[in-house]
Amino acid sequence: MRIVLVHPAGSNWIKGKKDLAAVANRMAPIGLLSIAAFLEQGGHEVFVHDCLGPHAPHEAEKNIKIIESHDPDLVGFSATTSGFLDGYRLASLIKKKRPGIVVVFGGVHISALGGVLLENYPDIDYLSMGEGEVTIGELADGHDPQSIPGLVRKEGGRVVANPPRGQIADLDTLPFPAYEKLAGFPGGYNLPLFSYIKAPGATMITSRGCPYQCSYCDRSVFRRGFRYNSSRYIYEHMKDLRFRFGVRHVNIYDDLFTLNRRRIEELCGMLASGPLGMNFNCAVRVGYADDDLLRMLKAAGCLMVSVGIESADEGILARHKSGVTLAEVRDTVERIKRQGLRVKGLFMMGLPGETEESIRKTSDFVISLGLDDQNMAKFTPFPGAPIWSAIEEEGMLENDWQQMNCLNFVFVPKAIESRERLDRLYNQHVKRFYSSPAWRRKFMFRLWQHRHSLLYLLKHLPSFARARKNFEPDS
């Protein structure tokens, strides 16, 4: 079967502003690439079209022409909440021109909402719930749709959900993602500026699932549990990126990369004894980053470690990210810095229960930590997250899927007077962090290390200048 897998562009920036997100950070759609590799291994002819890719057109009709040029029998869309409607517009255009093409949607938004999407969006033939590799593979192989676990379908005018599909127990049985199917990879897929010192970069995911239950996190696809690739698989994956594609830096986007200590010890040993000439970034959990672990990561080529902190308000932490204390956060950050690793703090503004006082407290705490970088996300309630069911009791929600991308405030907590006020507080914090003397001294000291980022910044200076204006505090 001829298959095209599509990553829709969606709305990935601030409402009313030109979409600049891909200029700052263009990530390969790893989930689609994993499905593509699995399908190709099964004998299918597979193409991937990334509507956020470096060579993709902006106009829907031009994207449709690219998809049609491959003469597909099946078109699959992987959709986030913000990308779903854009993907559906493409699907409707495809169905209008070629009604016989099978259209399948999968991804986190689909797994969270399920059959209601088939009821309201008639140009979709099937939904793939949860992990998509085997489900899409069986559909492409011609199995009876009634017999395929994980598939949601239409039958006699009604929506029918087949039994759920079991999770893939051994992730090492999956082939490496098909990066080669992305036009412009790796040079056209850029990591966040100043998060690397070698170029080009790429992204990896080496585990699925998370045993923790943060209020804001959607686990609809991989659910709780924790499954992972072996250390040997990860090493060979990194080796493939290095020597087949020339990749020099990898961002590992696992939720809990270091949860299984043994595999990290083995992987770090492999990278230390058989270096690949590349760096990597990863994340650790607060309270689970002892000195031995950090030394191993450093010796293996780790450059920067991310730490999920979210807030400096203990009440908000207890409610939304249990098991994390501010004392442990400070200790973990200090340990990381002592081992010569860079540290990036991950925060979230606008959670239920947020107040202006808690925002100021968090901003002060961020500055006091002496971080190398930060990511302050705008809290976005997603349909599959535990907090979703009661979100309208917590404040004002604008249920606009296209804005649900952690870059827009679609939710305003009760104690904050307006969205405009929340945006103002957010912008003030972002400017405060990057204007702080300590951060600027650190940045100036590393200018030569960041020459690749600086050259990229200069090349796209007009776009970054426009983006900067979004973080200027209102007068």
For the stretch 293-319, pLDDT in tens is 999 999 999 999 999 999 999 999 999
- Greatest distance between any 2 Cα atoms in the chain: 67
Using CA atoms, how far apart are residues 406 and 140, in angstroms rounded to an integer? 34
pTM of the model: 0.94
Q: Which residue has the higher pLDDT, 322 or 458?
A: 458
Whether residue 91 contacts residue 77, with contact meaning beta carbons closer than 8 Å, is answered with yes
Question: Residue 267: what pLDDT?
Answer: 98
Question: Residue 316: what pLDDT?
Answer: 95
pLDDT in tens, 444-462: 999 999 999 999 989 888 8
Question: Residue 475: what pLDDT?
Answer: 42
pLDDT in tens, 421-445: 999 999 999 999 999 999 999 999 9
Topology alike, domains 2-161 and 191-471: no
pLDDT at 115 over 90: yes
pLDDT band at 20 (very low <50, low <70, confident <90, very high): low
Q: Which residue has the tokens 């239920």?
A: 352
Using CA atoms, how far apart are residues 195 and 188, in angstroms rounded to an integer? 16
DSSP 73: S
pLDDT at 241 over 60: yes
Question: Residue 474: what pLDDT?
Answer: 52
Q: Which residue has the tokens 């409607």?
A: 85
Which three-class secondary structure state does DSSP give residue 12?
coil
Using CA atoms, how far apart are residues 129 and 383, in angstroms rounded to an integer? 14
Tell me, which fold does domain 2-161 have in CATH? Rossmann fold (3.40.50)
pLDDT band at 16 (very low <50, low <70, confident <90, very high): low
Using CA atoms, how far apart are residues 143 and 123, in angstroms rounded to an integer? 21
Tell me, which fold does domain 191-471 have in CATH? TIM Barrel (3.20.20)
- Helices (H) and strands (E) counted in the chain, each on its own, are 17, 17
Average pLDDT over residues 137-148: 98
Instruction: Break the chain into its structural domains and give their ranges.
Output: 2-161, 191-471
pLDDT in tens, 256-303: 899 999 999 999 999 999 999 999 999 999 988 999 999 999 999 999
Q: How many CB atoms neighbour CB 157 within 10 A?
A: 5
DSSP 405: S
